[in-house]
Every structure is written in C-alpha cells, then in structure tokens.
A and B are shown apart, each in its own frame.
Chain A
Amino acid sequence: MPWLDLLLGLTLVVTAGLALAARDLFRAVVMFIVFGLLMALAWVRLHAPDIALAEAAIGAGLTGVLLLDTLGYLRRPFGSRVDKPGKHQ
C-alpha cells in the first residue's frame, strides 16, 4: 500500500502545517488532535503498535483535552481571576 502510506504522510504534513498556521486557537487544537490520530495510524503502518497506542491515548487524547481546557481558561472573563488582573485581548 505505498500510495496509502504516501497519502498518510502528506496528510500528516498538511495537518501539522494547518495546526501551526491556524489563527483561531480552537481550530489549531482540533488540527493538533487530528494530527495525533493520523500519527497513531502512521505508527501502526511502521509496525510500532506500542507507540501507536500511546500516541492515540496521550498524544491525541489527553494532550488535546489539556489544550482545550487551557483554551477555556484563556477565554474566561478576567474579572473571575483571583490574584492578579491580566491583559484582555
């Protein structure tokens, strides 16, 4: 399946580029999760199922959750911040 592998590799590069170039942070996080899941597929194709499992669970899943959580934290109104007032974009 060389064509599928080539397609997978190209999609990886494209999703990585989209994640880096996205202006909207939410879009960037979603692209990062997509990248992580495709990366897990790539590891399977490279006969490394152990890394694929870890990538899907930690790379795409939990890191994605942490990034989304951070995004929610960044977007919350600053009046609720306890210690110090920050800049609001």
Chain B
Amino acid sequence: MSLRLVSAALLCVAVTVALAWAVLDRPLPEENLPDRVAAAMPESGVDHPVTAVLLNFRSYDTLLEIAVLLLAVVVALALREAQPDQPEAMGLDNPLLRAVMAWLLPLILIVAGFLLWAGSYQPGGAFQAGSVLAAAGVLLRLAGVTTAWLDNATLMRAGLALGLLTFLGVGLLVMIPGAPFLTYPLEYAGTLILVIELTLTLSIGLTLISLFRLTPPYADDPDEAREQAGKTP
C-alpha cells in the first residue's frame, strides 16, 4: 500500500472516531425545544409544528435558504453555454410519454396544490409542493412539450425572484406598525404564511426546473456528431 492510501485510511478512521465521539458526547439540550414549540403554537397562525418553525419562529433561516437557492440558479444562468435552447432536442420523442403526460399533468398539479395547502396542518409545504411542480416541468421537457412562457427570460427571472421578494416584502411590511422584522401580527399570521408559501412554491418549482433546463442540449448537428463519434476511439 502506498503512503497516500495509508494516510487516507488513517484520516477516514480519525474522522469516524471524531464523529462517533461527537455523537456520544453531545451535551444534553438545556431547554426542551419541542415543548416550547408546542407551547407557542397558538401564536403561529398554523397547526403544523414544522411549518410553524420554518415560516414563523425561524423564518429568518428559511428566508436565507431561499436567497441561497436564488443565488445558485443565478450562477447556473451565468455558467450556461451561450447557445439557443432546443426543447425538441431534449425530448425523448416518445409518443407514450406524451400521452401519459396528458393524464398525469392535472394529477401532479393537484398533488402540488394539496401539499401546499396541507402544509398548514400536516406534513407538506412549499418545498415539497415546489419539487412536485418541478417534476411536472421535467416530465414536460422530456416529453418534448414546448412551453413558450418558460422560454420568456424576463417572465422566468421574475418568477425565480418572486418568492424571495414576497418573503422580504412581507417581512418589511410588518415593520410599518412597529413590529420587528418578520414578526407577523397574530390575526394575519395564517394568511401571510400562506401567501409566502404560495409564492415560494412557484419560485422553488421554477428554480428546480431551470436547473434542469439550463443544462446544455445534446448534439447541435446529429450528422456531425455521429461523424465525430466514429473518429474518436
């Protein structure tokens, strides 16, 4: 065994031991957080503790998460190869997929809507609904369906930024009566959270779709590509 292998193995063992030690030696939590969340639930405006934590008690974290997502997609846009998008080149040319999509699409949209709505009282929410929306976009893309509104760059970018802007806007709006940033007034909390989640769902869905769509299309000229493939070993 070479020195590199030995040192890599030693490093792996050391990290494993450190991880095990960290897990076994963690300090006991000083406060019982689940109990505190349960006690504060009436002030949250929703009935599901996870949603309450994500969008009310710790909404600042979620706001930053959305900002990071937006940043990631902006970088992906910037790194994209400068060439026109070719939806038909991405499609699988599969009539069965097209036919099935006609049945599946309404169902997928209903599931996304349900997940979004369910987020206020049971597992679900913006992230899950957004990724289901994105799955619909990916399937449409694979079926070779052209979506003109997705190719409209201005509209697409507005959609990508909508979630973060609404989140920020709501956070700033509640400061007008004098509340701290992102502290929703009790009587509007449920509505505000639903509005934020609705726009977040759209933006997250669009973000994930664009990450998939931004990958460069396959061969520009099939004949030339085949010729090149024949030359290379």
Cβ of B215 under 8 Å from chain A: yes
Contact B50 A50 (CB under 8 A): yes
What 9 A-B pairs come out closest when comparing CB atoms? A79-B228, A80-B219, A57-B131, A49-B123, A77-B229, A80-B225, A77-B225, A53-B128, A50-B123
Closest chain-A Cβ to B93's Cβ sits at a distance in Å of 14
Contacts of B138 in A (CB 8 A): 62, 65
Interface residues of A (CB under 8 A from B): 49-50, 52-54, 57-58, 61-62, 65-66, 69-70, 72-73, 76-80, 82-83, 88
Contacts of B227 in A (CB 8 A): 79
- In the complex, the answer to whether B212 meets A65 with C-beta atoms within 8 Å is yes
Q: Known: A61-B135, A62-B212, A78-B232. Contact between A50 and B218, CB under 8 A?
A: no
CB distance from A86 to the nearest CB of B (A): 11
Whether A53 pairs with B212 at a CB distance below 8 angstroms is: no
Instruction: Give the shortest distance, in Å, between B187 (CB) and chain A (any CB).
Output: 26
| Closest beta carbon of chain A to B133's beta carbon, Å | 10
Contact of A57 with B212 in the complex, beta carbons under 8 Å: no
Hey, which chain A residues are within 8 Å of B212, CB to CB?
62, 65-66, 69
Chain B residues near A61 (CB-CB < 8 A): 131, 135
Contacts of A76 in B (CB 8 A): 218-219, 225
Q: Which residues of A contact B211 (CB under 8 A)?
A: 66
Given A50-B123, A57-B128, A62-B131: A80 in contact with B115 (beta carbons within 8 A)? no
Whether the Cβ atoms of B135 and A70 lie closer than 8 Å is no
Which of under 10, 10 to 19, 20 to 34, or 35 or more describes the interface residues of B?
A: 20 to 34
Q: Are A80 and B50 in contact (CB under 8 A)?
A: no
Interface majority SS on A: helix, strand, loop or mixed? helix
Give min CB distance, B51 to chain A, whole Å: 8
Tell me, rounded to whole Å, the shortest Cβ–Cβ distance linking A43 to chain B: 10
Instruction: Say yes or no: A58 contacts B81, CB within 8 Å.
Output: no
CB distance from B34 to the nearest CB of A (A): 12
What residues on B are CB-neighbors of A79 within 8 Å?
219, 224-225, 227-229, 231
With contacts A77-B225, A77-B226, A82-B81 taken as known, whether A57 is within 8 angstroms of B135 at the C-beta atoms is yes
Task: Identify 10 new A-B residue pairs, CB closer than 8 A, beyond the known A57-B131, A70-B215, A79-B231.
Answer: A49-B123, A53-B123, A54-B127, A54-B128, A57-B135, A62-B134, A66-B212, A73-B218, A80-B219, A88-B232
Known: A72-B218, A77-B232, A82-B83. A62 touches B135 (CB 8 A): yes
Which of A52, A54, A70 has the most chain B CB within a 10 Å cutoff? A54
Chain B residues with CB under 8 Å of A49's CB are 123
B-chain residues with CB within 8 Å of residue A66 when the two chains form the complex:
211-212, 215
B57-87 vs A, CB cutoff 8 Å, 1 = contact: the mask equals 0000000000000000000000001110000
Interchain residue pairs with CB less than 8 A apart (9): A58-B127, A62-B134, A77-B228, A79-B227, A79-B228, A80-B220, A80-B228, A82-B82, A82-B220
Residues of A within 8 A of B221 (CB): 80
